Structure 1
Amino acid sequence: MSLRTVWPFPFDEDWSLHQPQEESAYATSPCLRLWTRLTTEPAALGKGTWAIGANRAPFGQSAWKITFDATTPVGLLHDVHAELLDLHREDHSRNQDRLFDDPTPPHEGYAPLFARCWSHDVKTDGAQTFLAPDGLAGIRHRYAARYPDRSAWRAWGGYPNEPHWQAHFSFGTPTTLVAVLTASLISTEPLHRTVQDVPLHTRHHLYVATATTKQPPSHAPAASLPVAPSSGRTR
């Protein structure tokens, strides 16, 4: 699987792609304020991290950060990165700064869950948790920044005490990116999967649908590091 399945960036135009080592890859925006990377652990199957960060100044301290386990479904990863690219382009064309001052209210990150009958539990410690009806996915939102070093949003797939994958969004992350993950997570669009792609303890929860003749490449399962492309900006 190619990195371009996850990263829909225009590498033949102005985005840069770097692969300094076999187990890592790194992409940066033309303004050098956005970066995203993949690091893997070759000796441990399925181990590694996808990360997205935004700096107010090139090479400065990150204003916010998102991390995903390497086992996160590629469809989710692609949708978040595609929205990241859209926000970057919109900020550039309209002279806005939604990547750092997104006006999207927090409820847009979880409101769609109610339509899918997700449960909702609010704690007095400033956190609320949403669980899928089958218990195999969840989202936790810290609506009070009492602990800014913790994640503002956490999403996972699998059972809460033993998730197959997790995603963490720091405080300051645009709510728009959270909303895209939520929409992708609850999507009912059928996906192509082999038996090996589905964790053993979740297979009895599958719903079988008739295969379509055309399937977008973004709906592959977890990603693996591709062979490095030729030097320079490529697509």
Structure 2
Amino acid sequence: MPFNEPHDLEPDTDVLVSPRYLAGPGTGDAITRTLDSAAGWKVVAFGADTYYTSPCQRVRIANTVDSRYGGWTIAYAEDPLGPSDWITTFDRNTPQEIVAAFTDTLVDGLPHHFADHLSGGKHHTGPSPAHVFASHQWEPVRAAGPFRTVSPDGHAAFRIRGGWLHEYDELLDPKNSTWHMSAGADPLSAPSWQAYFSRYTPEHLITAAATTLIAPQPVIRAAHHVPDGHRSLVKIRPVQHSDAVPRAKAARARSPRTEAVPAVQLPSSAAAPLPRAGSRRQR
């Protein structure tokens, strides 16, 4: 039975929260678990910030606590000494499961240049993020400007920026990014969290994050970590022994490597087309 007053519980009581995109950021364990154990990845702690580098030196991942957006920034450069080809930013309030879906898929596919995750590969994530949302009854927002689609409850949104913008402008400011996810009581005007994906971010990584965002399974949080502004918008109940797992084991179960991916059925009419990426820049 739902119990929507987490602050009536002891602060450290584990609760199950749905929808997951309103559950709050969590502890970050679901993200660092893969990065800390990934073969060949280097980690450097600098004060409260943490930086990861892939064995090929092409990927940099930063958890910068006091930066403008906080949270996690992932950058890829085909030339390790050159400018980034793409940048993804998850702000400090993004639920950890959504970030972990992106980083786990990135770490898993990077050694093979994502071959197993592309069309025909054994880990192919299927349709584009726009199709994932459309197939779960997300509705387009009828307004001028970028294409936006909103979740059935109205508390999560996905945006595809329209028009042309120089790719370096995207890399300099996440707000200019081609793709944007957000959630909150008002996800369009006053979101509680935001994620930004620049134009050349591999689409299967965005799709992995999208698939985890819409997954119906609740996630575990300590009661006092459920955002105050979301308490009336979520379903909450204390974790029972029958729910089987303490928080650490539950986090492992929620990892995209083990979590069942909801089946995606394409809608009868295609979602708004994704913008054409155009040719890759030459250095």
Q: Quick check: TM above 0.5?
A: yes
1:205 corresponding residue in structure 2: 233
8 Å Cα contact 1:53/1:62 also seen in 2:
yes
Q: How many angstroms apart in 1 are the aligned matches of 2:154 and 2:38? A: 42
Q: Give 5+ residue unaligned stretches, structure 2.
A: 1-25, 119-123, 170-175, 256-283
Give, in angstroms, the shift of residue 23 of structure 1.
1.8
Q: 1:38 to 1:120 in 2, by over 3 A?
A: same
Q: How many angstroms apart in 2 are the aligned matches of 1:171 and 1:88? A: 18
1:31 to 42, 56, 59: 56
- Aligned pairs (5 A) from 1:76-155: 76-91=98-113, 108-121=128-141, 125=145, 127-142=146-161, 144-146=163-165, 148=167, 149=169, 150-155=176-181
Find the residue that maps to 1:9 and give its secondary structure.
Answer: helix
Deviations 1:136-190 (A, max 9, x none): 1111012543464321101111122221111100111101111011101101112
Q: How many angstroms apart in 1 are the aligned matches of 2:117 and 2:131? A: 24
Higher strand share: 1
Q: How many angstroms apart in 1 are the aligned matches of 2:221 and 2:28? A: 19
Find the residue that maps to 1:70 and give its secondary structure.
Answer: coil
Q: How many angstroms apart in 2 are the aligned matches of 1:67 and 1:137? A: 17
8 Å Cα contact 1:105/1:175 also seen in 2:
no
Q: How many angstroms apart in 2 are the aligned matches of 1:14 and 1:80? A: 19
1:18 to 18, 23, 44: 44
Q: How many angstroms apart in 1 are the aligned matches of 2:138 and 2:235? A: 18
Q: How many angstroms apart in 2 are the aligned matches of 1:97 and 1:199? A: 34
2:83 corresponding residue in structure 1: 61
Q: 1:3 to 1:155 in 2, by over 3 A?
A: closer
Q: Which amino acid aligns with 1:139?
A: F
Structure of higher RCO (CA pairs closer than 8 Å, 6+ residues apart): 2
Q: Which moved more, 1:193-202 or 1:61-70?
A: 193-202
Cα RMSD (Å):
3.2
1:233 corresponding residue in structure 2: none
Give, in angstroms, the shift of residue 13 of structure 1.
3.3
Q: Give 5+ residue unaligned stretches, structure 1.
A: 99-103, 221-235
Q: 1:106 to 1:142 in 2, by over 3 A?
A: farther
TM-score (norm. length: structure 1):
0.76
Q: Which amino acid aligns with 2:203?
A: T
Give, in angstroms, the shift of residue 193 of structure 1.
2.5
